[in-house]
Structure 1
Amino acid sequence: MMAWYSSFGLMIGLILTLMALRVPIAFAFLIANAIGVYLFMGGHFGLVQLAANSSEALMNYSLMPIPLFILMGELFFHTGIAGRVFVVVDRLLGRVRGRLSYVAIGGGTLFSALSGSSLGNVAMMGSSMYPEMRKAGYADTLSIGPIIATGGLAAIIPPSGLAVVLGSLAGLDVGRLLLAGLVPGLLLALGYAVLVFVITRLRPDAAPAYDVPTTSLGEKLRLVAVNLLPMMFIICALMGTIIFGIATPTEAAAFGVLSVLIVAAFFRSLTLASVVSAAQSAMKISGMIFMIILASTTFSQILAISGATRGLVGWVQGMDASLPVILLAIALVLLILGAFLEPVGIMLLTIPIFLPMVQAYGVDPIWMGVFILIFVEVGLATPPFGMALYVMLGATEGKSLADVSLAVAPYLLCTMALVLLITIFPGIVLYVPSLVRN
């Protein structure tokens, strides 16, 4: 029998090597799984078991919200509802210095709560807001930075498709995990707004003032009533049904899709073309995610059967390290992986290892799930391979990867401050899930 560190190094090394050769992550895990199953689970009989596990991995009711959340976000984008949010927030802020940065934060946060798609959030705001911010003379820190940072909130604020994937992989209550990200996500958005305020006070030239039309109080109230209240209907249909125990996450996701269709029809923007485009995009993204989940179940089993997970946890416990040291080590690993791997790949590699490790220290698995999601969000904006950086590069002209990375760096420091805050006060994460009725 191979030593635990040898089997652990073999499996991780296989996957990282295949990824370095630019093999798609789903196929990299499948190839590594086939080799691992052959070595640790009984030769070709293990390969037969691999095929059986593959079908069982997808026959999981808790995975159902994923395509529904993705479809909801795509409908929100393709029907043009998202554009209304930014217009209203812009008109409400009036002549506030740096108002376009606040619009990006406020509108992006609301879009995160309605779509669950980080990259879709960045793509939409980058194409719709960045040209206007550049035209107004905004510095990169106040234009590119808030767009990328706020886009990543969709990984934390429900409905987060990544939270559903993480909950499914870790065997957690998906509904509670979704709700656990609500308060941290809103606090992070508030932190971004405070950062913009500080920057505009220290560097007024970073957001030049310019004349904007004055909007009366009556007009502002009308804009809110007509454009924002229907969005509250979508949020209530989605999150309210989970909080009050009316619906499961899957049923709530279906309510969310239906509510977006109703709101789009109310705005007279629901067309056959928009529905078809949204369905096609959702199908492609969902197919990719399910392929990755297909490969993940066996990978976790291989680590367990080979003794790698048990050996690693035992080794850490034998070090007699304190919980803060363990969390710091986990954070560093997640930061390093986030610079090179995509979010689902990070979760596939780390969940089977980190979750048993911290549970041995009495850490709540829901809290740990949010901890991992926060670093997944950071990974989207971490060079050299953070996907949100490249999405934003597609919306900018004449900007380099270094320019975009430096613009978002202050916002990543805000995220690290949030991590410290929830570590000291875990109730920030766990309070809302505690309200859920059994």
Structure 2
Amino acid sequence: MTWIASGSFLIGMVLLAMASSMPVAFAFLLANVIGAVVFLGGAAGIEQLVANMTTSITSFTLVTIPLFILMGELFFHTGIAQRVFDVLDKIFGRLPGRLSYMTVTGGTLFATLSGSSLANTALLGSSLLPEMKARGYQDRLSMGPIMACGGLAIVIPPSGLAVLLGSLAHLDIGALLLAGLVPGLLLAGLYAAVVFITVRLNPDAAPGYEVQPVGAARMLGMICGTLLPMLGVVAMVVGLIVLGIATPTESAAFGVLGVLIVAALFRSLSLGAIRLSLIGTVRVSGMIFLIIIGSSSFSQLLAFSGASAGLIGWATSLQVAPLVILAAMFAVLLLLGLFMESASIMLLTVPIFFPLAQGLGFDPIWFGVVVLVALEIGLVTPPFGLSLFVMLGVAPKGTTLKQVSLAVLPYLGCMLVLLLLLVVFPGLTGLLRAG
């Protein structure tokens, strides 16, 4: 077969299986089995496929994934999240639009602990949206920042999707996690700027209300007793990687231990919370490992059939700038984001896009961050972004998809600005790596 025929054959099988409502991971497994028979040679090919699948998930670095997920599950199920929100509420006091700022701050903090965008959105929505609605906040200052900050968990470490992306694309996971920190914090700053500008231009968008003052001594006690322990966990997880003291896997283990210790100190650690956290971890981790198995084998089949090399050769021979091809890849990611969740998009695109990006001379770590930002944009892009539907699930009855979509548009603009900054200043992803 020519590279076009073999690539179309493999990708066509996946799309056909997905069109029949087969789960994405199983669609890839089916395509892999058929592809092994065609390209690797019957029973011997299937044996080789099984060996490749086993190798793909027996890497110590993949232990990071269930550990990060467990850390986030414990954080939610032990009730630590609500305690942190209560402290942030007191800190912002009478600041105009304080609930929106609290959303940005809390969403950024929780992104470092949850690693799950949809879980982050659900937590912020269920915790803050009722009070914001009761206080008369307009949609762009209530639902908008909640959906936007939910997506920060994709970019800010420790991100489970970043670990998955690094595993699928064979990247240095520690470098990828660090590369997302500065862009993630910059994006949070852009969200805060949107809130500030909106409140200044239209104070009625976030009506003020009386807040019971809190004394300095009590404020200091709440900060030291609740906020600092959680910031300590964040510093431990990210700091150990930044300083080179621990690998991402080791820092994830320390993060789980840190959340357990904090929950025990808060007297909120229970067998029920641990049980729910472990069940959630097993479910999500199992799904992710199936994705890794399917994607790694699919990538090998694309390479063996000549489809990958043919595509790279064709793309690099085009008389267009590499940025044009980058824009085309971003458009594909955005289009897929309208219909698929992030892990499935990675499964479909990583085997094709990363070899192509490296062939065009793009830094793979930088390109990994660009992909993560693109996936974040896909989560909130109307009308089918998954975060929009999560928000509809926690919003008051009668909330429409149009309302949710309009609320997130200013923050969607911030994401596009960040993407432009990454293209113009690619060094943003290398600040911590260089340090």
> In structure 2, what is the Cα distance between the partners aligned to 1:23 and 1:384?
23
> In structure 2, what is the Cα distance between the partners aligned to 1:398 and 1:15?
38
Give the secondary-structure state (helix, strand or coil) at the position aligned to 1:215.
coil
Cα offset, 1:403, TM superposition = 2.2
Give yes or no for contact 1:177–1:433 (8 Å, CA) kept in 2.
no
Equivalent residue, structure 1, for 2:321 = 322
Instruction: Out of 218-227 and 120-129, give the one that drifted further.
Output: 218-227
Equivalent residue, structure 2, for 1:259 = 258
Query: Is the counterpart of residue 153 in structure 1 residue 157 in structure 2?
Result: no
Give yes or no for contact 2:36–2:301 (8 Å, CA) kept in 1.
yes
TM-score (norm 2): 0.97
Where does structure 2 lack aligned partners over 5 or more consecutive residues? Answer: none
Query: Is the counterpart of residue 80 in structure 1 residue 60 in structure 2?
Result: no
Give yes or no for contact 1:338–1:379 (8 Å, CA) kept in 2.
yes
> In structure 2, what is the Cα distance between the partners aligned to 1:308 and 1:143?
47
Give yes or no for contact 1:340–1:384 (8 Å, CA) kept in 2.
no
Cα offset, 1:185, TM superposition = 0.3
1:245-286 residue CA offsets vs partner (Å, 9 max, x unmatched):
221111111000000001111111111111111111111111
Matched letter for residue 377 of structure 2: V
Give the secondary-structure state (helix, strand or coil) at the position aligned to 1:247.
coil
Equivalent residue, structure 2, for 1:250 = 249
Equivalent residue, structure 1, for 2:400 = 400
Equivalent residue, structure 1, for 2:129 = 130
Instruction: Out of 35-44 and 157-166, give the one that drifted further.
Output: 35-44
> In structure 2, what is the Cα distance between the partners aligned to 1:106 and 1:61?
33
Matched letter for residue 376 of structure 1: L
Instruction: Out of 149-158 and 16-25, give the one that drifted further.
Output: 16-25
> In structure 1, what is the Cα distance between the partners aligned to 2:43 and 2:408?
49
> In structure 2, what is the Cα distance between the partners aligned to 1:189 and 1:60?
33
Cα offset, 1:219, TM superposition = 2.9
Identity %: 55
> In structure 2, what is the Cα distance between the partners aligned to 1:406 and 1:11?
39
Give yes or no for contact 1:142–1:207 (8 Å, CA) kept in 2.
yes
1:157-216 residue CA offsets vs partner (Å, 9 max, x unmatched):
000000100111111111111111100000000000101111122222221222221223
Cα offset, 1:384, TM superposition = 4.2
Count of residues in Structure 1 that have an aligned counterpart in Structure 2: 434
Give the secondary-structure state (helix, strand or coil) at the position aligned to 1:91.
helix
Cα offset, 1:122, TM superposition = 0.8
Equivalent residue, structure 2, for 1:433 = 433
Instruction: Out of 258-267 and 347-356, give the one that drifted further.
Output: 347-356
Equivalent residue, structure 2, for 1:421 = 421
> In structure 2, what is the Cα distance between the partners aligned to 1:301 and 1:265?
46
RMSD across aligned positions (CA): 1.4
Cα offset, 1:417, TM superposition = 0.2
Cα offset, 1:7, TM superposition = 2.0
Equivalent residue, structure 2, for 1:305 = 304
Equivalent residue, structure 2, for 1:16 = 15
1:356-399 residue CA offsets vs partner (Å, 9 max, x unmatched):
22222322111111110111111222244422222221101212
1:269-326 residue CA offsets vs partner (Å, 9 max, x unmatched):
1111111111111111111111111111110011111111111111111113212212
Instruction: Out of 303-312 and 102-111, give the one that drifted further.
Output: 303-312
> In structure 2, what is the Cα distance between the partners aligned to 1:244 and 1:395?
39
Give yes or no for contact 1:76–1:114 (8 Å, CA) kept in 2.
yes
What is the correspondence of 1:384-395 to structure 2 with a 5 Å cutoff?
Answer: 384-395=383-394
Matched letter for residue 107 of structure 1: G
What is the correspondence of 1:261-280 to structure 2 with a 5 Å cutoff?
Answer: 261-280=260-279
> In structure 2, what is the Cα distance between the partners aligned to 1:44 and 1:399?
55
Equivalent residue, structure 2, for 1:222 = 221
Equivalent residue, structure 2, for 1:237 = 236
Give yes or no for contact 1:174–1:249 (8 Å, CA) kept in 2.
yes
TM-score (norm 1): 0.96
> In structure 1, what is the Cα distance between the partners aligned to 2:62 and 2:403?
38
> In structure 2, what is the Cα distance between the partners aligned to 1:308 and 1:433?
33
Equivalent residue, structure 2, for 1:59 = 58
Equivalent residue, structure 1, for 2:5 = 6
> In structure 1, what is the Cα distance between the partners aligned to 2:202 and 2:29?
51
Cα offset, 1:48, TM superposition = 2.0
> In structure 1, what is the Cα distance between the partners aligned to 2:143 and 2:11?
35
What is the correspondence of 1:23-172 to structure 2 with a 5 Å cutoff?
Answer: 23-172=22-171
Matched letter for residue 374 of structure 1: V
Where does structure 1 lack aligned partners over 5 or more consecutive residues? Answer: none
Equivalent residue, structure 1, for 2:286 = 287
Give yes or no for contact 2:295–2:351 (8 Å, CA) kept in 1.
no
Equivalent residue, structure 2, for 1:360 = 359
> In structure 2, what is the Cα distance between the partners aligned to 1:219 and 1:10?
66
Give the secondary-structure state (helix, strand or coil) at the position aligned to 2:228.
helix
Give the secondary-structure state (helix, strand or coil) at the position aligned to 2:380.
coil
> In structure 1, what is the Cα distance between the partners aligned to 2:388 and 2:145?
12
Give the secondary-structure state (helix, strand or coil) at the position aligned to 1:186.
helix
Matched letter for residue 199 of structure 1: T
